[in-house]
Structure 1
């Protein structure tokens, strides 16, 4: 309730604050300069802007809630259908449905919880870059192990890397693929931006190549195929990586490949590309074989 009240106060007209300030000044604080009052038209426009912002916020909030509720119902209906087709006993069906409800409740609770750096125990450092570092960390409540990418905001601003970091975060949040590193959550404080990602204990392709020197034909075909699938998974979402190298091809505990380090990735405007191709076709250029 307190958080809702504090949020609502952001949309209150500032003339209330000015009037309260003038009241304090009339009670004896004559040393403070009384702020200039705003006109009725400015106050009205300011109030309309805050009302529009509050309305948009509330609409988006309830749209998201309804979407989550609908997806939750769909997951339950899908499970009930699969259980009915699998000829599972009524007791086992009830137990599985209760287990699903428990997991859904835990997920909703995690969504409401605001993560922070204090929720993780820092372990070994596994990488260090120009304006950040990557550490193995353990979540204190669950004991799950993750890779924490910690980026210093001042360095990002100084080097002009803000858009690159935004693109990396957006790609990881948007693309769901077993071929790229998973992003579990992101948060920030006054100095750093944190990305909590999947920890892959198998090392990288550079280390594998240094250790084995030469891969067999089957091994080479396997890793090339998984690399192609990883690149394709981000191309489908109109991103290009721009930094493909063995150091950015990580391996999980089973030896499967994951594409990582999207700091140089770039989103593409495919509509512009289609327009370019249409212009070339008008001049009689055909790119089909």
Structure 2
């Protein structure tokens, strides 16, 4: 009761200090101005959340506008074809109504959020440090996919969140016949799920163990497809960093596709000036071999012969062995 009475007295005292117009006094303005304000800048975590929310909203409405434009274009193309084909007006109306019905069903499917309950989980075909890969079948269509299941807590503990983001971004961005296709991704409180293309042919390691030695034509074929797969991700400024036979998968027709982008990294082209165009804009590297190598207007040492390079490599290896023996 005493606390209520003291609060009421302070309130009456404040009301008396106000002028007749109801505006606060100079003393109250100074107290309000001198009150502690939160002038501290937002933390890095808050800035990251703001940037992620901004990117999500921009991408969402950009996709909405693109879908609307695509719908209008599909309707316009159908109307033109019907007009050029001298189709009766009643049949034209029926076809346009059928198109609208299909468009509505497609939009309803897009709004549906995928989850683990939409798939029948089948055999486990692989396991790793963060989770497992298993075969799954979609309940609505019966299509078979490969589900990659990653444990969030383990990714956070090992600091591999950025690698997983890079893998997901690469799979979503690169559309190539030499890369395993990503169909969708979703998550729950414990796991992150990537629904990818299922390749029943196994991997190159299994093929090499089974055949022991490939013929010249087979080796040329698989090496060529490996080069094409690596080139397809290099064109999108990514490097794989984990090329090995286990990550080269085979489809049912024997064609190779590159997989497992957990160690991939975006390529910063500013660190590789030889990949950029020269000042003339002709797309050729500014490199000459007249007595030395001109590399971005800088002259380096002349090119060594093969024997000199081998000798230089051996000397460096000897120095490294001596250095390691001293440390031990």
Specify if TM > 0.5.
yes
The equivalent of 1:133 in structure 2 is: 132
The equivalent of 1:31 in structure 2 is: none
The range that moved more, 210-219 or 95-104, is 95-104
For the aligned residues, what is the CA RMSD? 3.6
- Structure 1 position 193, deviation (Å): 0.5
Task: Determine whether 1:156 maps to 2:171.
Answer: no
- Structure 1 position 213, deviation (Å): 1.3
2-side partners of 1:80 and 1:236: how far apart?
Answer: 39
Report matched runs for 1:1-289 at 5 Å. 61-74=60-73, 104-274=103-273, 280-285=295-300
The number of residues matched between the two structures is 236
Q: Which has the higher contact order (CA 8 A, sep 6+)?
A: 1
- Structure 1 position 231, deviation (Å): 0.5
TM-score (norm: length of structure 1): 0.69
In structure 2, runs of 5+ residues without a counterpart are 1-34, 39-51, 279-293, 303-328
- Structure 1 position 63, deviation (Å): 3.2
2-side partners of 1:247 and 1:95: how far apart?
Answer: 53
1:63-97 Cα deviation digits (max 9, x unpaired)? 3211122234445667888x79xx98969999998
- Structure 1 position 267, deviation (Å): 0.5
Give the direction of change, closer, same or farther, for the CA distance of 1:282–1:243 in structure 2 (3 Å limit). Answer: same
CA contact (8 A) 2:166 2:266 kept: yes
Give the direction of change, closer, same or farther, for the CA distance of 1:57–1:268 in structure 2 (3 Å limit). Answer: closer
1-side partners of 2:235 and 2:96: how far apart?
Answer: 35
In structure 1, runs of 5+ residues without a counterpart are 1-38, 43-52
TM-score (norm: length of structure 2): 0.61
- Structure 1 position 284, deviation (Å): 2.8
2-side partners of 1:55 and 1:262: how far apart?
Answer: 26
The range that moved more, 188-197 or 264-273, is 264-273
- Structure 1 position 274, deviation (Å): 3.0
2-side partners of 1:95 and 1:175: how far apart?
Answer: 39
